[in-house]
A and B are shown apart, each in its own frame.
Chain A
């Protein structure tokens, strides 16, 4: 890579704007038990910004990972510059001009900006890295972004936004002809977004094709030419942005009918408020979050990824610190500094990522069920009453219909749905008064989902407060009584589920509408 080639487009190939550069046809990708992409097609022209929209889990990122060779594809074909290609790795794709900037940044914090930009392709002088040339070259690309980042700064000293800029500089240095940006603006300030959009326009003019994945529908208008909407791993529509409205996109994103089966709700919300959160804040994560929960009610938390729903639940539960706000359970104000306090008060949190935070996978079903309430199955001196423990575990395994050969089965060997039931069993055994369910049905099969929905309903009927955090709007509509909608750390709306629509929720979730402003 030399400093002279600062244009993303080599001088040799004159840009022919509007010519097709990339086409993916009938792509199908399976993961064990999941059809992640089902017959999806996508194309990109030189000098075009093509937005890819869809709810969480719609398959946008998966599609891009298949195109760039991070995942292999099961069916379909990819044609790049008129040639059929199947990249074996991101490096292969990069070498021919396809570069992806991931949502989670892939920089090495303890290296300098220049070292990151040239990682794995450092300019050499003999056996050694030519540091001077590397920094000078990197600086050229950084200067184009006009954000004042120095090439010899350590990446760990940069804000996330500036790190994003380094990623973009790296993409420029790679001489990209196709640039894929996954949620590039999620951590940028307004000014930085403006600068990014200028750069995007510049790149367009040079004939670079850009795939732009974003949840921020309001900003599409400023840069995007065409929009493809995906849903549940399928292609829904590809339209010129000029011909449609944001509402059309939202409708296409959520457009599925409620084909998933939900059990009939048997609990009815009363007027009695059992749980109240007021003005809860955590600097940098969420601010002034207030909501209440009535007896018999299932309250939904809706919002896009990173909107702060999980963070709010974790702060209420004492798993993360909070900077302000009050939590009142059944008329009593709680002071919660740790999960231990929350559990004692009767609040439970079923984490979003079972394997990471919820389940001790190397331990048995029985050990997991009793983990939060060991006192109940042991003597005062801490000796576990094994027969009692087994009976307790058996009781919850039967109650929740956990499919396991025995209670001493290692949790790792259960299916996702059954693992989730084990975690639920843990909190039922603890006699929790309020349960936060964070994405309880993620990654589990339809039958097990139905069982979990039934369980939520039963809990609500028994007077236990149920808060359902989910990214699946049908789940919100099918299961909740009211829904709290989050957008970038704020509650933008609290809606009666019966009187709302997916479109309306999506408008609040994407910040297009705000009830309290």
Chain B
């Protein structure tokens, strides 16, 4: 055995260093953005803006969590933006019809789950490529959302409908000297708390459960996973259902923020979700990805938008910049892997 002993090079430290660089590259980029925007805009580094950014990032993050799970299996889910809209209008219409808000929203979330399940079935049983299956669902869900609302926004949903998106925890309001209320601390909005909780739950699922392990195994080598007795189809369907549920939740939060159910909401959000996962180091080939990376990726996109807005950069220029950031990060990732 002396031959093999001598033959195996010691590679451990090399690898760890690379992983470390990857983890910190995204985080460092995020911090750099914060510092840069703090210097260019005085309104950026304030508590209220922080709360705004967090709230704005929730929808990308919800979708990004689902996208990460799906992409880790080597798949893709293009339907989430439309599913979000469908779930939101289902919740809105149900509320309008007199169903209690909480039940309506659960119905909305489950609608998302059903869409995800259909995606999963089409991909595993009908054996369509995920790109095609979810592209189809993207159109079907959007069409359904428009059809059942007559393409009109559903408004007059009542204050309760707005709680999920606009309510906050620990909001401190004092009566100012002039008699108007003065916000001392804007509080942490429910949506942000939900995002944090779900991110942690997803991270645990990926790192600590057999389901999570199987997602990685399928993405790393689907045939090896199958030959090892992994329920490949079941696991994949699970990933798409998860993505659908999160899209449904995202839809409810978004519509709640507007206190209106908009069938046109969420167009192209799937691309933000995929971008956040990819910026966070998830490989589109599958087998690689973390929730922490995706959350960082979501915040990079959220902060870029917010900071550029504050600096008066037009939304067209923003698109260009975010596009370049995506290309840049993935390119750096490729360079890193090529070594």
Contacts and interface: CB of A to CB of B under 8 A. Distances in A.
A415 B15 contact: no
A321 to B, nearest CB: 14
Interface string A367-386: 10001101100100111101
A361 B3 contact: no
A367 B224 CA distance: 12
Contacts of B229: 339-340, 343-344, 372
B39 interface: no
A447 B224 contact: no
A310 to B, nearest CB: 12
B2 interface: yes
Nearest to A448: B4
B230 A371 contact: yes
Interface string A402-443: 011110011001110110000000100000000000000000
A409 B12 contact: yes
A371 B232 CA distance: 12
Given A361-B221, A362-B288, A409-B12, A403 B5 contact: yes
Interface in A68-97: none
Interface string B1-24: 111110110111001000000000
Task: Please report whether the interface of chain B is mostly helix, strand, loop or mixed according to DSSP.
Answer: helix
A453 interface: no
Interface residues of A, number: 46
B211 A363 contact: no
Contacts of B217: 360, 363, 367, 371
B209 A401 contact: no
Given A351-B227, A360-B287, A367-B216, A403 B4 contact: yes
A451 B2 CA distance: 11
A344 B12 CA distance: 35
A423 B158 CA distance: 60
Contacts of A446: 3
Nearest to B14: A413
Given A415-B8, A418-B8, A362 B227 contact: no
Contact of A319 (B2, B208, B214, B226): B226
Contacts of A378: 209-210
Contacts, number: 110
Nearest to A389: B213
B289 to A, nearest CB: 11
Contacts of B230: 371
B61 to A, nearest CB: 24
A357 interface: yes
Contact of B11 (A351, A372, A383, A405): A405
B127 to A, nearest CB: 15
Given A351-B227, A357-B223, A374-B213, A406 B4 contact: no
A445 B228 contact: no
Nearest to A403: B8
B264 interface: no
A403 B6 CA distance: 10
Interface string B312-327: 0000000000000000
B3 A406 contact: no
B118 interface: no
Contacts of A367: 213, 216-217
A383 B214 CA distance: 12
A358 B223 CA distance: 8
A386 B208 contact: yes
Interface of B: 1-5, 7-8, 10-12, 15, 208-211, 213-214, 216-217, 219-221, 223-231, 287-288
25 contacts: A317-B227, A319-B226, A356-B221, A357-B224, A359-B221, A362-B219, A367-B213, A367-B217, A371-B213, A371-B225, A374-B210, A374-B214, A378-B210, A382-B210, A383-B209, A384-B209, A403-B4, A409-B15, A413-B11, A413-B15, A415-B4, A415-B8, A426-B228, A446-B3, A447-B7
Given A340-B229, A363-B216, A367-B217, 18 more contacts: A319-B227, A344-B229, A359-B221, A360-B224, A360-B287, A362-B220, A362-B288, A367-B216, A371-B217, A383-B208, A384-B209, A386-B208, A405-B11, A409-B12, A415-B4, A417-B4, A418-B8, A450-B1
